[in-house]
């Protein structure tokens, strides 16, 4: 059978793409390497704005509603903020991703899980996918196969290696730990070169992890141990510790579209460098990809408007998050002083999590009131785009 579109990968990006295409009446094959539900190394933290993109009510999947943020310096010195309504939701990825794939199947997509794509080829009028000893063809291909994407490897050879190396541990909580983390997440800087640490509660278990830049990869285990012990957790009881790469967006826009193929989510490296949030952008890029295929694919086979949509809606946000991360993660002590002295910064960030304001707005507000020469120095240090962008977008949301 020939499909309209083959979507590779059953994570949030692929499931959303397949769901949106199937809803529009397309014949979609969704291929997932692992049997579902599958484990995925992830903190499972959804900023509240994700809810707006979801095709279903996630209430039954929510393990914890987050109303408190605690920022720590090396697990000790802390700045806390508490909000009147949740700013983030905690989920387990196995059930969350399964729910999204179920919606895609309900809408008419064909799901083949436990099947790995081995290689892909694209020609002027179709794509071919090698799937466990057979070849499947389609008009279009969407690579939603995550950080080690086979679609990116075969069709987008100009890829650079992912930016952060992470180690995530599932730590059972004592009753005191559970009470402390109830509705609260901890975000730590100071132990983790070029990155951060997190503790995200899910009932009696916390996802506690660290992410460091690639140059510090060999130290990731000692960074996790240091964060765990300084924050009062113990890694002895960790039920699962998983290493993973986080494909944060790096400066500049690269090609996410080639002929009849598109990349979405982690395969496209659409992870926010400031917080490591990727689920939001996986879903958003999946929706853009499907809309492009439905509208432009059917008309003339030209999918280049996908690149334009991502460049317009997602890349400017990730660029702003990247500039902020270069301050927060490369000069963590300075960033922590900003949080300590200007607690309003945390409330401003709440607006980003809620989807009420953009990262670009947040970036401008963080620097508001800071003498211009200092802003200029930081802008230069944080990336060449910073200065030119700032002029164009002052006051933007
Ligand atoms: C330690 C860690 C913590 C994180 N914490 C958070 C967080 O708290 N909040 C947040 O928003 N983001 C977080 N992220 C980022 C988030 O996990 C990703 O951005 C998100 O999963 C991207 O979704 P995706 O669908 O693009 O890719 P994935 O979720 O990785 O899905 C890709 C799928 O493709 C499948 N696949 C791979 N190769 C093949 C193949 N050859 N054939 C068929 N199928 C294939 C995989 O099995 C997988 O199911 C974290 C990441 C890490 C590593």
Query: Any idea what the Cα angle at residue 121 is, between residues 300 and 28, rounded to 5°?
Result: 60
Residue 47 falls inside a structural domain = no
Residue 135 falls inside a structural domain = yes
10 lines ligand 1 (CB under 6 A): yes
Is the same domain home to 154 and 168?
Answer: no
Q: What is the DSSP letter of 3?
A: E
Encode pLDDT of 144-188 as tens digits: 999 999 999 999 987 777 789 999 999 999 888 899 999 999 999
Q: Quote the CA–CA distance of 251 and 322 in Å, as a whole number.
A: 7
117 lines ligand 1 (CB under 6 A): yes
Residue 48 falls inside a structural domain = no
Residue 217 falls inside a structural domain = yes
Is the same domain home to 348 and 239?
Answer: no
Residue 232 falls inside a structural domain = yes
Separation of 278 CA from ligand 1 center, angstroms? Answer: 8
In the structure encoding, which two tokens stand for residue 244, read together?
Answer: 């993973």
Residue 50 falls inside a structural domain = no
Query: Any idea what the Cα angle at residue 216 is, between residues 215 and 218, rounded to 5°?
Result: 110
Identify the pLDDT of residue 37: 97
Is the same domain home to 181 and 241?
Answer: yes
Q: Does residue 285 surpass a pLDDT of 50?
A: yes
Is the same domain home to 115 and 189?
Answer: no
14 lines ligand 1 (CB under 6 A): yes
- Mean pLDDT of the region 364-389: 64
Identify the pLDDT of residue 282: 98
Is the same domain home to 128 and 19?
Answer: yes
Q: Quote the CA–CA distance of 100 and 232 in Å, as a whole number.
A: 35
Determine contact, residues 210/230, Cβ cutoff 8 Å.
no
What kind and span of H or E run contains 189? strand 184-189
Separation of 147 CA from ligand 1 center, angstroms? Answer: 7
DSSP string over 104-173: HHHTTPEEEES--EEEEEE-SS-EEEEETTEEEEEEEEEE---TT-HHHHHH-TT----SEEEEEEEEEP
Separation of 49 CA from ligand 1 center, angstroms? Answer: 19
153 lines ligand 1 (CB under 6 A): no
- 64 has which bridge partners? 90
Closest CA to 200 of 275, 101, 284: 275
Identify the pLDDT of residue 383: 54
Query: Any idea what the Cα angle at residue 42 is, between residues 40 and 46, rounded to 5°?
Result: 120
Q: Does residue 210 surpass a pLDDT of 80?
A: yes
Is the same domain home to 117 and 258?
Answer: yes
Average pLDDT along the chain: 91
| Owner of token pair 């510090």 | 216
- Mean pLDDT of the region 282-308: 93
Separation of 101 CA from ligand 1 center, angstroms? Answer: 14
29 lines ligand 1 (CB under 6 A): no
Structural domains in the chain (count): 3
Is the same domain home to 150 and 170?
Answer: no
273 lines ligand 1 (CB under 6 A): no
- Closest atom of ligand 1 relative to the 45 alpha carbon: 8
Identify the pLDDT of residue 393: 37
Domain that holds residue 75: 64-86+164-246
Is the same domain home to 123 and 30?
Answer: yes
Query: What is the CATH classification number for the domain harbouring 104?
Result: 3.50.50.60
Tell the residue nearest (CA) to atom 18 of ligand 1.
278
pLDDT band for position 49 (50/70/90)? very high
Query: What is the CATH classification number for the domain harbouring 235?
Result: 3.30.9.10
Identify the pLDDT of residue 390: 42
Is the same domain home to 325 and 357?
Answer: yes
DSSP string over 374-394: HHHHHHHHH-THHHHHHHHHT
Identify the pLDDT of residue 364: 87
Separation of 243 CA from ligand 1 center, angstroms? Answer: 13
High-pLDDT (> 90) share of the chain, %? 75
Identify the pLDDT of residue 36: 97
224 lines ligand 1 (CB under 6 A): no
Residue 51 falls inside a structural domain = no
Closest CA to 363 of 326, 308, 309: 326
Identify the pLDDT of residue 235: 62
Separation of 279 CA from ligand 1 center, angstroms? Answer: 8
Is the same domain home to 132 and 31?
Answer: yes
Query: Any idea what the Cα angle at residue 162 is, between residues 156 and 166, rounded to 5°?
Result: 150
Identify the pLDDT of residue 95: 97
Identify the pLDDT of residue 317: 96
- Mean pLDDT of the region 40-61: 96
145 lines ligand 1 (CB under 6 A): yes
Return the best residue to mutate from 146, 249, 280 for the ligand 1 pocket (most ligand atoms within 8 A of CB).
146
Of the three residues 246, 265, 290, the one that is the final residue of a domain is 246
pLDDT band for position 215 (50/70/90)? very high
Q: pTM for this structure?
A: 0.94
Helix ranges (DSSP H) in 263-341: 279-292, 298-300, 304-313, 315-330, 332-341
DSSP string over 308-325: HHHHHHTHHHHHHHHHHH
Separation of 79 CA from ligand 1 center, angstroms? Answer: 30
Q: Quote the CA–CA distance of 366 and 364 in Å, as a whole number.
A: 6
Determine contact, residues 266/247, Cβ cutoff 8 Å.
yes
Is the same domain home to 279 and 138?
Answer: yes
Residue 56 falls inside a structural domain = no
Of the three residues 313, 343, 360, the one that is the final residue of a domain is 313
- 199 has which bridge partners? 186, 208
209 lines ligand 1 (CB under 6 A): yes
Of the three residues 227, 246, 265, the one that is the final residue of a domain is 246
Is the same domain home to 303 and 330?
Answer: no
Q: Quote the CA–CA distance of 294 and 199 in Å, as a whole number.
A: 40
Closest CA to 162 of 42, 275, 246: 246
């Amino acid at each position: 059978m020939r499909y309209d579109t083959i979507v590779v990968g059953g994570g949030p990006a692929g499931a959303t793409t397949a769901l949106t295409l199937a809803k529009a009446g397309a014949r979609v094959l969704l291929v997932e390497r692992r049997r579902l539900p599958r484990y995925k190394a992830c903190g499972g933290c959804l900023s509240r704005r994700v809810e707006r993109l979801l095709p279903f009510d996630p209430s039954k999947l929510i393990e914890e509603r987050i109303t408190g943020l605690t920022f720590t310096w090396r697990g000790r010195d802390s700045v806390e903020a508490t909000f009147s309504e949740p700013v983030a939701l905690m989920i387990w990825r196995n059930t969350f991703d399964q729910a999204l794939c179920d919606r895609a199947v309900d809408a008419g997509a064909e799901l083949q899980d436990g099947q790995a794509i081995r290689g892909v080829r694209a020609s002027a009028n179709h794509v071919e996918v090698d799937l466990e000893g057979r070849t499947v063809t389609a008009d279009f291909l969407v690579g939603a196969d995550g950080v080690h994407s086979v679609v990116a490897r075969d069709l987008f050879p100009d890829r650079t290696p992912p930016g952060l190396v992470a180690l995530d541990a599932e730590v059972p909580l004592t009753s005191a730990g559970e009470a402390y983390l109830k509705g609260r997440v901890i975000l730590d800087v100071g132990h983790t070169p070029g990155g951060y640490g997190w503790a995200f509660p899910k009932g009696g278990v916390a996802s506690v992890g660290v992410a460091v830049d690639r140059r510090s990869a060999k130290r990731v285990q000692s960074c996790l141990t240091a964060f765990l012990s300084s924050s009062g957790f113990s890694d002895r009881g960790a039920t699962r510790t998983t290493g993973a790469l986080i494909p944060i967006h790096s400066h500049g826009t690269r090609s996410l579209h080639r002929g009849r193929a598109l990349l979405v989510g982690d395969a496209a490296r659409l992870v926010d460098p400031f917080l490591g949030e990727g689920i939001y952008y996986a879903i958003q890029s999946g929706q853009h990809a499907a809309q492009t295929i439905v509208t432009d694919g059917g008309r003339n086979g030209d999918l280049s408007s996908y690149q334009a949509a991502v460049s317009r809606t997602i890349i400017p946000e990730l660029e702003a998050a990247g500039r902020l991360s270069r301050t927060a993660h490369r000069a963590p002590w300075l960033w922590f002083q900003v949080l300590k002295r200007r607690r309003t910064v945390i409330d401003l960030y709440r607006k980003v999590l809620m989807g009420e304001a953009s990262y670009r707005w947040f970036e401008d507000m963080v620097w508001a009131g800071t003498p211009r020469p200092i802003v200029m120095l930081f802008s230069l240090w944080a990336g060449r785009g910073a200065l030119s962008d700032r002029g164009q977008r002052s006051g933007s949301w």
